[in-house]
Amino acid sequence: MKKTLSILFLLLSLPSIAQVNGGELEEVIINGHRTVKQTATTITTVDSIQMAESSSSTFADMLSKHSSIFVKTYGQGSTATVSFRGTAASHTQVEWNGININNPMLGQVDFSLIPVWFVDKTELYHGGSSMQEGSGALGGEVSMTSSVGWDRKFYSALMQTVGSYGTYQTFLDVGGGSKKLQTRLRYMFDMAENDFEYLNRAVPPFEVVKQTNADYKKHGGVVDVNYNAGRGHFLTFNAWFMHSDRNLPTIMSYQGTGRQERQTDNELRLVGHWKKYWSKYKSDFTTSFSATNIDYFMANLTGEKWYTNYDSRSVVYSFHNKYRFEYSPSEKTTYSFLANANYHAVNIFDRITEDGYSAERVELGVSISAHHTFNHWFSGFALVREDVVDGSWTRPMPSLGAEFAPLKDKNFTLKINATRNYHQPTLNDMYWLPGGNPDLKPEEGYSTDVAVDYAKKAGLFTLKGNITGFASWINDWIMWQPSEFRYWTATNISEVFSRGAEVNMSASCAFSGAKTTISGNYSYTKTTNEDPQSDQARGRQLIYIPEHKGNVMLDVSYRGFYLYYVWSAVSERYTTASQSSSRHKLPPYDIHNITFGKKINFHNDMSLDFNLKLNNAFDRKYQAILWRAMPGRNFLFSVKFSYK
């Protein structure tokens, strides 16, 4: 792992080395425009090249390859969650077009059910920077939005892929309109047999076996309607539907005679926006409704008879309302008021165990903030928020930040911020039978960031970089543990200390019609359990949190030809809290993905794009989760037709 991380930093430094060896070049000042609201925040934007490389993938795959956050996946097509800075998956808040899509029952989002095809812009809010949008993100927030082009009369795209293990995908994008009305429809169909071979080291004799009961089918669509009503009024409607049928494979160590396990997911999200702009004021109201159905079934073969263990049905309804009002007396100052009112209803019942619960939750929240640029080298913000959940008030949540630009060209900035935040227990934590605990307290987090940003353009070269050091202390971390009644129960027991660093860098060079960009990120995360009542686990890294994670992407394009090379590396992860044996950790791994393609333009408004993607090019044998099989070398061929 040390060698691979050294290679990462060597690759990131190559363009700057080439710049020095090529002679001294005239410096060009970069005059990027940032709004005052972005002052002292740590926000990563996934760029268009990275999203294009992952256009046929899920968000889990894209974030794994192109971000510093950790993706925990149970295998291709199976559940995948993400976490920032060593926190839990439920500590990551996820927004789509301004509304929170975390499941209130589970507290998290399955990123394997979010196609990159459905999203135009992705931003990652690290640590306390997420407080700009609301509370609950003790680790960070993933924001996904749709964009609109008011000057596009008609455009369309159709992409077809075929790949290893019976993979077949179809993607459609069609839209257009006028300067008053724009509509757009995106659709996706994805299926795979997912029957790859792997070496089973869990059960002797160790042998190569083929994965079974792992096929899946997914399809869904997104509709965007944007209306310019005039006089600064804009109305937007977004709709999302996704259906997924997944057979879930057994783990490698399973030794039974047979098992059937499957899950069906149905998701519907409806979002409406009303925005009003004045010269110095902005009003933004968002309302939404979402419904999620999850059906889970598991049966084991005993002798010649199938025995059903679980057959559960869960239904979740959520209503979200958000209102934001901003006043900007000048470009240097913005005052903001944000109010939230949400309602959730959950019903889950298992027809075999006859366990389940019904619960409701009402969430209210208000925050006020002020952002101000004092002079050319100093700016800052102050924010305070308070939530009311089912009638219980949280303590005030302040967030403060300052940004310094000691150089006149503002290519170098220093950012500092500190935040107190709360995360509410999930409804499963409180009401699951047996083991739910309605007396759970919210998890309380204190976090601080210190970041340095640098950007420079010199001749043919452009260099950007960011280094962030962070520390976070979370009290009353919720964990499930064995109880005296012989079942597991949720309890506020842990005190967790997370600290580390994140590095993001990119360098590009363009000449004679050719362009080369190399970008990468690295994160060091030390997250330890500091609970004084847990002797075995105290001071040890939390399970499934890697200390090191890194990615590098090389993008080369010339006259319609392009090459993407993506390298991702993850260090070892522990699978038990005590970490008493080497058997309780998963070895590090690195994955190499290569894409080669050609884009052909016709009549200036039509194009054909062919590419071949080779995933896990060096056929690495690895496990992201203990005893969950992962595919070896595989390919995906795609053809995309576009009209614009």
- 3-state per-residue secondary structure call for 25-85: CCEECCCCCCCHHHCCCCEEEECHHHHHHCCCCEHHHHHHHHCCCEEEECCCCCCEEEECC
Domain limits for position 19: 2-643
pLDDT beyond 90 at 32: no
State the average pLDDT over residues 356-379: 95
Least confident residue range of 53-62, 290-299, 323-332, 477-486: 477-486
Which amino acid makes up residue 558? Y
Q: pLDDT tens-digit profile of 551-591?
A: 999 999 999 999 999 999 999 999 887 665 566 789 999 99
Quick one: CA dihedral 622, 627, 632, 636, positive or negative? negative
CATH number of the domain within which 203 lies: 2.40.170.20
- Nearest 5 degrees, angle CA 141-CA 145-CA 148? 160
Residues 6+ apart with CB under 8 A from 14: 507, 518
Q: What is the pLDDT of residue 3?
A: 45
What average pLDDT is seen over the chain?
A: 90
Q: What is the pLDDT of residue 600?
A: 95
Q: pLDDT tens-digit profile of 277-304?
A: 999 999 999 999 999 999 999 999 988 8
Q: Give dist(CA 600, CA 606) in Å, integer.
A: 8
Q: pLDDT tens-digit profile of 622-634?
A: 999 999 999 999 9
State the average pLDDT over residues 302-322: 95
Least confident residue range of 211-215, 229-233, 489-493: 489-493
Q: How confident is the model at residue 67 (pLDDT cuts 50, 70, 90)?
A: very high
Number of domains present in the structure of the chain: 1
Least confident residue range of 148-152, 219-223, 384-388: 148-152
Looking at residue 118, the DSSP 8-state letter turns out to be: G
Q: How confident is the model at residue 310 (pLDDT cuts 50, 70, 90)?
A: very high
With beta carbons less than 8 A apart as the criterion, state whether 236 and 273 touch.
Answer: yes
Above pLDDT 70, what percent of the chain? 92
Q: How confident is the model at residue 1 (pLDDT cuts 50, 70, 90)?
A: very low
In order of 67, 363, 386, 493, 502, the CA distances from 549 in angstroms are 9, 35, 35, 28, 10
Which amino acid makes up residue 78? S
Q: What is the pLDDT of residue 37?
A: 79
Q: What is the pLDDT of residue 379?
A: 95
Q: pLDDT tens-digit profile of 594-604?
A: 999 999 998 88
Q: pLDDT tens-digit profile of 145-156?
A: 999 989 999 999
Reduced to 3 states (helix: H, G, I; strand: E, B; else coil), residue 590 is strand
Q: Which helix (H) or strand (E) holds 431?
A: helix 427-431
Residues 6+ apart with CB under 8 A from 508: 15, 461, 462, 515, 516, 517, 518
- Residue indicated by tokens 């899946």: 216
Looking at residue 9, the DSSP 8-state letter turns out to be: H
With beta carbons less than 8 A apart as the criterion, state whether 493 and 479 touch.
Answer: yes
pLDDT beyond 50 at 213: yes
State the CB neighbour count (10 A cutoff) for residue 72: 19
Reduced to 3 states (helix: H, G, I; strand: E, B; else coil), residue 596 is strand
Find how far residue 308's CA is from the centre of its chain: 35
Reduced to 3 states (helix: H, G, I; strand: E, B; else coil), residue 428 is helix
Q: How confident is the model at residue 34 (pLDDT cuts 50, 70, 90)?
A: low
Residues 6+ apart with CB under 8 A from 3: none
With beta carbons less than 8 A apart as the criterion, state whether 245 and 284 touch.
Answer: no
With beta carbons less than 8 A apart as the criterion, state whether 300 and 259 touch.
Answer: yes
Q: pLDDT tens-digit profile of 454-482?
A: 999 888 899 999 999 999 999 999 988 77
Q: pLDDT tens-digit profile of 179-191?
A: 999 999 999 999 9
CA nearest to 572, candidates 70, 109, 111: 70
Q: How confident is the model at residue 408 (pLDDT cuts 50, 70, 90)?
A: confident
pLDDT beyond 50 at 25: no
Highest mean pLDDT among 10-24, 357-371, 450-464: 357-371
In order of 416, 466, 589, the CA distances from 447 in angstroms are 11, 19, 30
β pairing state of 412-423 and 397-404: antiparallel
pLDDT beyond 70 at 29: no
pLDDT beyond 90 at 441: yes
Q: pLDDT tens-digit profile of 225-246?
A: 999 999 999 999 999 999 999 9
In order of 55, 83, 85, 106, 589, the CA distances from 88 in angstroms are 27, 6, 9, 12, 22
Q: What is the pLDDT of residue 488?
A: 84
With beta carbons less than 8 A apart as the criterion, state whether 247 and 215 touch.
Answer: yes
